[in-house]
Amino acid sequence: MIIGLRHDVDTIWDLKWGISKVIELEREYKVRSTFFVRIDLLGSEKYCNYLKQIVNEGWEIGLHLINTINDPKRPSPENELNFLRKRVTGINGVTPCGSTIGFVGDVSWVTMDSLGLKYMAGYGSPNYQVKTFVMPTSLNFDLYYVRNFGAKEGYERFKKDLKKEINKSELVTVLVHPLYFVFSVGTHGHFMKYIMTILRKRLMNEVYEDFIFDFKPRTKFMTYIDAYNTITSNKST
């Protein structure tokens, strides 16, 4: 079974502090993952060079698309992709960023499909014939399970649902945000998040490590592009 590991880089804090925490843990367990990055975070050459470095070490960078509806008032999806490609090599996939326009069903599927990449990921499945390989919808480890149920119960619920998905499909994907390796996933209130961060409550470091440790013996953790290559290779043989 294959688990595709996905991390959405939505804020400068993900990029500045969070990614390195994820990398440190994944390096220890010899697994690799994909980071989907918003282009408006890449104003510094320092961050671009860091992304190039981790790509050279086996991690993958994908496009975390801001203009998910091809709004003519914003930079086009093609411009976003070209901007990222000029800074990091090997861009093969795209996911919708939820914090600006968000995912808008088939409109977003059409927009992502038009980029001509190897794979795309959203929510559910498109209601039309696509050219691009569609990754299964991710289990949102932090913002759903840990935020709503706490680290202990949330992890137990996550494990139960993940095992169900593994039994149904050859490929399952899991989403974790690097931000919550340095800030508490906590509750929705900013004040409580601040307090819980100080108290080191509901950070993803330990529970993410538990997940890797528990599932690594019987599953293959992969970047999205490696998962794509494996699945499509299996289908062609």
User: Would you say residue 138 has pLDDT above 90?
Assistant: yes
Nearest to 90 by CA among 134, 50, 58: 58
- What does pTM read for this prediction? 0.94
Distance of alpha carbon 167 from alpha carbon 14, whole angstroms:
32
Q: 175, exposed or middle or buried, with CB in 10 Å at 0-12, 13-18, 19+?
A: buried
Number of separate helices (H) and strands (E) present in the chain: 9, 9
Are the C-beta atoms of 175 and 193 separated by less than 8 Å? no
Q: For 12-29, what is the mean pLDDT?
A: 96
Q: Are strands 93-96 and 60-65 parallel, antiparallel or unpaired?
A: parallel
pLDDT (0 to 100) of residue 198: 61
E-only strand ranges, the chain: 2-9, 34-37, 60-65, 93-96, 119-120, 133-134, 139-140, 171-175, 220-222
| Calpha distance 214→156 (Å, rounded) | 12
Confidence band, pLDDT 50/70/90 cuts, at residue 197: low
For residue 193, what are its two tokens?
């998040």
| pLDDT reading at 196 higher than 70 | no
The residue assigned the tokens 């289990």 is 139
| Least reliable range by pLDDT among 6-15, 79-88, 119-128, 180-189 | 180-189
Q: Distances from the Cα of 219 to the Cαs of 18, 118, 147, 209, in angstroms?
A: 25, 23, 25, 15
Q: Residue 200: is its pLDDT beyond 70? A: no
Q: Report the percent of the chain where pLDDT is more than 90.
A: 86
- Pairwise pLDDT comparison (131 vs 190), residue with the higher score: 131
The CATH homologous superfamily for domain 2-236 is: Glycoside hydrolase/deacetylase (3.20.20.370)
CA distance 103 to 98: 6
